[in-house]
Amino acid sequence: MNLRTAFVGAGLLLSAALAGCTSDGTFTTFTSSYGAKTDAGYRLPAIPISKVPSKYHRQIVRFDTKEKPGTIIVDTSDKFLYYVMDNGKAMRYGIGVGRQGFEWKGTSRIAMKREWPVWTPPAAMIRRQPELAKWRSGMPGGPSNALGARAMYLFNKGGDTGYRLHGTPEWNSIGKAMSSGCIRMMNQDVMDLYNRADVGAKVIVK
């Protein structure tokens, strides 16, 4: 082997290594994507992402599934949401899920998407937490709103499931089971998913 061939071969190996995934199946991690930003006139604060376990940072991972690209698969056990992409990859996000007694599983579709949505606590929640009665007619959208910067509303054949994929200002709830059943995401993550997911997209919660 001459010097030129060896040099080219080494370059190809380096390029393959840079383009490939790590041993845990991760291609790209977006740890630097959690800074402050202004959106629709609202100031979204930075997330102290170093305090969030790295496995819950947004990342492209290897993901084998028979579901078509654009499908969303929620793994409530490991606290991950996968947005299925082409070529055996998925965008993976860390999530917070329903606490004990509020877990759910099933297949639905995104029927609506809303930016800076109004949150209206259901009657059952108000009975459990009377202090929420002041929002009976709806809590205006904004950085402190329980639905965060974006919400995607899940419906099935029976209509509105009452469950949402949504943002949250409580970034420290990611990776935990402490919601009333909805799937929580860091605001910067739910904004990213919102831009990828289409109305009508299939959502599998397992």
Q: Report the CATH number that the domain containing residue 181 is assigned in CATH.
A: 2.40.440.10
- 187: β partners: none
Confirm if 190 and 150 have CB atoms less than 8 A apart: yes
Does 13 reside within a domain?
Answer: no
Residues of the chain with pLDDT under 70: 1-21, 100-103, 180
- Do the bridges between strand 202-205 and strand 59-62 make them parallel or antiparallel, or are there none, so unpaired? unpaired
Confirm if 119 and 146 have CB atoms less than 8 A apart: yes
Name residue 64's amino acid.
D
For the annotated catalytic residues, the residue numbers are 166, 182
Confirm if 146 and 156 have CB atoms less than 8 A apart: no
Measured CA to CA, the distance from residue 197 to residue 111 in angstroms comes to 11
What is residue 204's predicted lDDT score, i.e. its pLDDT? 97
What is residue 18's predicted lDDT score, i.e. its pLDDT? 37
Domain with 139, as residue range(s), is 23-205
Does 12 reside within a domain?
Answer: no
pLDDT in tens, 120-144: 877 877 788 888 788 787 889 999 8
Nearest by Cα to 63 from 79, 87, 80, 29: 87
pLDDT in tens, 174-194: 999 988 679 999 999 999 999
Does 124 reside within a domain?
Answer: yes
Q: Which two tokens stand for residue 64?
A: 């084998």
3-state secondary structure the chain: CCHHHHHHHHHHHHHHHHHCCCCCCEEEECHHHCCCEEECCEEECCCCHHHCCHHHCCEEEECCCCCCCCCEEEECCCCEEEEECCCCEEEEEECEEECCCCCCCEEEEEEEEEECCCECCCHHHHHHCHHHHHHCCCECCCCCCCCCCEEEEEEECCEEEEEEEEEECCHHHCCCEEECCCEEEEHHHHHHHHHHCCCCCEEEEC
Does 15 reside within a domain?
Answer: no
State the total domains in the chain. 1
- 195: β partners: none
Report the predicted TM-score, pTM, of the whole model to 2 decimal places: 0.86
